[in-house]
Structure formats: C-alpha cells, structure tokens
Structure 1
C-alpha cells in the first residue's frame, strides 16, 4: 500500500513503454549501429572537408595563416627567426589550394602538401614563399598521354589567371620547339634551367623525353611562380600508366631578389640588385649571339614581365 501511494498515477503504461523502447533501441543499435557510427564519423569528416580548400597568398601573416587552418597546419619554429607552416592532409585525401594574387585566383587540386615560410628579419613581408606538392590524377596510375594533356591544361589555366611567362634575365629568349631544343641540349652550362614555353604542347614522343626538374616559370604582381615536373623513372613505358609529381613554388619579388645576393649583402639588396640585372642582360646578349649563329631563332620582342 505504501508503494502504491508513492508511485505516480498512470505509472504502469510508462513502465511498459520503457520495457518496450529500451530493448528496441538496443536491437536497433546492434543492427544499425555501424551505420549510425558511420554517420557520426561522416559529420566529423565534413568538418575536416571544410578545410580541404586552403587559400595561400604571398605576404599573408604567418600567424593569421596558421590560425585560419589550425586543424591541419603544423608550425615549425625550431630555427630562430624562421617559421615554417606545413599543411598536410594526413588522412590520405588530396586537398585543393587556391592561389590568391591580387584579383587573380587560381585553384589547383590533387595537392599532397603545402609548405610556407616567413623570416623575422623582414617581419612586414609575412609569408614570402610557398611550395605546393601535387600529383596528376589518378594518383600514381595515370596514362602518360593523359598526364601530358592534364599538365598543359594546368599551364593554360595559370596563364588564363593572369600569370605571364618569365625567363631568367640571363637566359636566351626562345619560344616553342626552340626553347625545348636548347633546354635539352648541352650547348651551354645551365641550359637545362631555361623556362620552357607554356603555350607549346609537345607530342607524346617528345613529352616522354623531357627531363625531370624541367621548369615553367611565371610572374604576376610581384610574385614569381615555378612549376617543376618529376615522374617515376621506372614507369616510362608510354603504353602503360606512370606516376607524376609536381611542385609549384611561389616566391615574393623581394625574397627572390635578395637570393641573388650573398648572405652578408642581403640587407642591401635593393641597392645592389640593379647591378645584378645589368650583368644578367650581358649574359643574355652573349648567349643569344652564340645561339643565333647556331641557327636558333631569338624572340627579340620578349620582355620580362617584372621589368
């Protein structure tokens, strides 16, 4: 009687409902638990996917960049005065990087990792360099002719985003097949460093002969870009799939010009750099005269976009 008085009214239906609901909930979890858990993990993954698109911009504050993508950025401050910011999609997925430069935005996908760097010696410059590591899909299993077309489509998009071909001021001004012939030759020391013509699309046969670390260089709004190509040398049968690896480097104009000076003179780079360009112009003239005598056609109308 005492128990009955302490129980609320209509207690029996509530108890029966609980007896029914709890076993049903357990049964549903046992049957569909993996799907439910997968759904929860998918929700967590969606939070990560939000950061799979990373925007990089030369000059951005390193602290701001690290804070913006803190879930996927590792900061290395072990070297005094130097800071490195590594973005790594460690779960095996590939990221997308948007390269922002003024009003220009260029998206590149199949990105493996990104590394940025800043120097406390020049605190107002922010991040002065980025190195973007990427592949050509499908990863490690792309037909060579497909890789050729995908790579030159990338170079085309770079140009459409406003980037102009840049040739080292000490290098001869060569286009198309002329540039490739010189780049692959041993006519001069350093010939292999020539920036190739991004508007020239070679045949598959020639594509297969292009050397590793060949570069295509560009310039826009005080930023230099260098695209370099590498591939698995053990998978060079043109009839079978291969594996391609690209690095896309970005560097500020100030950092680039400083690199032309000795370490001791870098604080005075703005004063000293004009003399570097004078020397490079003389080297270009000498090289072009030599190549002209060998039958190469010089593009005398080309002018470096950073001049």
Structure 2
C-alpha cells in the first residue's frame, strides 16, 4: 500500500509530511493514559471497556497520514506518515503499555523495492544513534550481522530478530518473509518493526506495495505476556523457572547455529527485568532494576 520514494533525513521528511497532509503532529508517551491522550488530541477515540482494559486509537483520513513521535527521552522515535495508532491500557495505574502503529515513508501507494529497503535502514541508523540496541529473546541464539539473516532463511519455523545494523542487499531483501521482525530495546521499552508487502508485486525492477508496523511494549507488558492471564499480576514469582527453560532453548539453538558455521555473540547482554512495583520482589533470574529508592515514602 505504501512507502518511500527517496532517502531523506527524517526531520525533513516529517516537515514534508506535515505540509503535505495538513495533519497535526501526534506525540505519545508510553505510560500516559488513554484519557490523557484523547484529551490532548480530540480525534483519538478512547474506548473504555470497563474490564481493566482500555483501547485508544486514531486512524488517518484517506491521503492524510499524520506524523507521530514516540516520546522516550533521548530514545524518541519520529515516524513521518502514520496510518493508524492503537494504544492498549491494561491498568489505569500503568497507563498505555502497548502501542501498535502502522506507517509509511511516503504518501504514494507504491515505491521501488530498493527505496523501501533504503528508507527503513535510514530509520534504523537514526534509532541506533539515539541509543536503541538489538533485542534477542532469551530463547533465541545470540547472532549478529548477516548471520541473523542466514538463520532466518534456514530456520523459518523458528524466527528470531534480524540485526538492524546489517543492511541486506536488494536480492536478500526480496527474500525476507513478511512479518519478519527487527527487535530493539532501550531503557525498559521494547520495539518490534516489520513489514507486509503485496506478493503480486515482487518484481525488484518494478514498484511494490509496503505497509510497515511498529509494536511498542513497556518492559512490564513484554514480560507479562510470557504467562497465562492468571499469572500476570505476579509474573515475577514464575520468571526464574521460565528464564531457565528459555536459556536451555537458547543453548540448543546456538549449538545448531555453530553447527552450520554461524558465530555466537557471547558479549550480548540481556536487558534487565523491569522495576518491580512497590511491595513486590523483582525475581532472581537475570539482572533487575533497583526499586528501593523509588518506593520510599
């Protein structure tokens, strides 16, 4: 459906988007409430479900996509042309914990495949400059660079994140499956970026159609999703056992990766667990963030 015509610095691209669409610039911060977001931007719908889960969303009018900034301090990300934003608020105490954003880099319906590739990796370079780092799940092999692509192409039933610091050739790009993710982490926020493209327009010499998706989760939401709903509130009590099982899966995956000649990045460090709410212990497996000072009266 969408994407980029040229490689342009993101700030300039955002300015162009605002001028072209006439849309306001949306700023959203994980942790704020749907009510706060809807009050600030009247076009956003706040759907209070009254069962502990609220949804807030905004959809762009046809040909009027809007620029959006994900506010996260020095790690903030700006997307020039957003089609849809949906926020999920599981607890009013925690505010919006998950954001799903569909976006593009151009208002035109088609783009050359190589332009799509270049535009996405220009954004990745900016994210890296802003402090985002590759996230590798505890159960996945610690691969980097082109090895992540080789693993993705050979282990299609066991997908893991690609490395955004490795820019594939056009031929490699055309072989990447839809919904393959590039995963990032920065200061207790997790971001997955993927794309979907029209499979009937896969000639690399002809324009294609792309839709990009960004999923944003707080550290709390990301870890909680590993467990059944009845364990959500006290997931930390169960984390050590699950982490041990996931690390065993990683060991097996890394042994297979070594077998086919891939290199394991033993220097990769898993992110710390999110801070525990006051009154809860953080758990034992993996590093944890201190909460004592935050819980002092």
TM range, smaller chain: 0.7 to 0.9
Q: Which one of the candidate residues 175, 180, 183 is aligned to 2:152?
A: 183
> Hey, what's the Cα distance between the residues in 1 that align with 2:80 and 2:259?
44
Shift of residue 138, structure 1, vs aligned partner: 4.8
| Secondary structure at the counterpart of residue 270 of structure 2 | coil
Aligned to 2:64: 93
Richer in helix (by share)? 1
Unmatched 5+ stretches in structure 2: 1-17, 273-286, 288-297
| Secondary structure at the counterpart of residue 145 of structure 1 | helix
| Secondary structure at the counterpart of residue 260 of structure 1 | coil
Q: What is the TM-score normalised by the length of structure 1?
A: 0.78
After superposing on structure 2, the runs of 4+ consecutive aligned residues of structure 1 that deviate more than 3 Å are none
> Hey, what's the Cα distance between the residues in 2 that align with 1:209 and 1:85?
35
Q: Which one of the candidate residues 178, 190, 198 is aligned to 2:164?
A: 198
Shift of residue 81, structure 1, vs aligned partner: 2.4
Q: Which one of the candidate residues 114, 137, 141 is aligned to 1:172?
A: 141
| Secondary structure at the counterpart of residue 76 of structure 2 | strand
Q: What is the TM-score normalised by the length of structure 2?
A: 0.81
> Hey, what's the Cα distance between the residues in 2 that align with 1:275 and 1:141?
48
* Contact preservation (8 Å) 1:140, 1:243: yes
User: Are 1:133 and 2:105 matched, yes or no?
Assistant: no
Unmatched 5+ stretches in structure 1: 1-44
User: Are 1:116 and 2:82 matched, yes or no?
Assistant: no
When Rg is computed on C-alpha atoms for both structures, the one with the higher figure is 1
| Secondary structure at the counterpart of residue 283 of structure 1 | helix
Aligned to 1:37: none
What is the RMSD of the two structures over their aligned residues, measured on CA atoms? Answer: 1.9
Aligned to 1:257: 223
CA distances 1:221-264 after superposition (whole Å, capped 9, x unpaired): 11110001111111111111111111001011111111111111
**Count of aligned pairs between the two proteins:** 255
| Secondary structure at the counterpart of residue 76 of structure 1 | strand
* Contact preservation (8 Å) 2:34, 2:46: no
* Contact preservation (8 Å) 1:136, 1:244: no
